[in-house]
Amino acid sequence: MCLSLHQYYAVLIIIALHYVVKSGLDAELYYVRNDLISHYALSFNLLVPSETNFLHFTWHAKSKVEYKLGFQVDNFVAMDMPQINISAQGEVPRTLSVFRVELSCTGKVDSEVMILMQLNLTVNSSKNFTVLNFKRRKMCYKKLEEVKTSALDKNTSRTIYDPVHAAPTTSTRVFYISVGVCCAVIFLVAIILAVLHLHSMKRIELDDSISASSSSQGLSQPSTQTTQYLRADTPNNATPITSSSGYPTLRIEKNDLRSVTLLEAKAKVKDIAISRERITLKDVLQEGTFGRIFHGILVDEKDPNKEKQAFVKTVKDQASEIQVTMMLTESCKLRGLHHRNLLPITHVCIEEGEKPMVILPYMNWGNLKLFLRQCKLVEANNPQAISQQDLVHMAIQIACGMSYLARREVIHKDLAARNCVIDDTLQVKITDNALSRDLFPMDYHCLGDNENRPVRWMALESLVNNEFSSASDVWAFGVTLWELMTLGQTPYVDIDPFEMAAYLKDGYRIAQPINCPDELFAVMACCWALDPEERPKFQQLVQCLTEFHAALGAYV
Ligand X SMILES: *[C@@H]1O[C@H](CO)[C@@H](O)[C@H](O)[C@H]1NC(C)=O
Residues that bind ligand X (CB under 6 A): 6-7, 56, 68-70, 85-86, 98-100, 118, 120, 126-128, 131, 151-152, 155, 177
Pick 69 or 510: Cβ nearer ligand X: 69
Name the minimum Å distance from CB 43 to ligand X. 19
Name the minimum Å distance from CB 547 to ligand X. 20
Name the minimum Å distance from CB 125 to ligand X. 9
Name the minimum Å distance from CB 44 to ligand X. 20
Name the minimum Å distance from CB 19 to ligand X. 13
Name the minimum Å distance from CB 151 to ligand X. 5
Residue 522 CA to residue 551 CA, distance in Å, equals 16
Pick 68 or 266: Cβ nearer ligand X: 68
Told to judge if 414 belongs to the known catalytic residues of this protein, a careful annotator would answer: yes
* Residue whose C-alpha is closest to residue 45's, from 133, 131, 135, 172: 135
* Residue whose C-alpha is closest to residue 550's, from 189, 87, 289, 93: 189
Count the helix, strand and coil residues of the chain and give each as a percent rounded to the nearest 5: 30, 25, 45
* Residue whose C-alpha is closest to residue 415's, from 451, 457, 455, 373: 457
Calculate the dihedral angle through the C-alpha atoms of 490, 493, 495, 501, rounding to the nearest 10 degrees.
Answer: -10
Q: Are 88 and 68 within 8 A, CB to CB?
A: yes
* Alpha helices by DSSP H, 385-439: 388-407, 436-439
Residue 307 CA to residue 296 CA, distance in Å, equals 10
Pick 127 or 270: Cβ nearer ligand X: 127
* Residue whose C-alpha is closest to residue 130's, from 175, 72, 181, 182: 175
Q: Which residues pair with 205 in a beta bridge?
A: 231
Residue 521 CA to residue 445 CA, distance in Å, equals 26
Taking CB atoms, the residue at the shortest distance from ligand X is 70
Q: Pick the catalytic residue from 26, 233, 414, 449.
A: 414
Q: To which H or E segment does residue 60 belong?
A: strand 54-61
Q: Active-site positions? A: 414
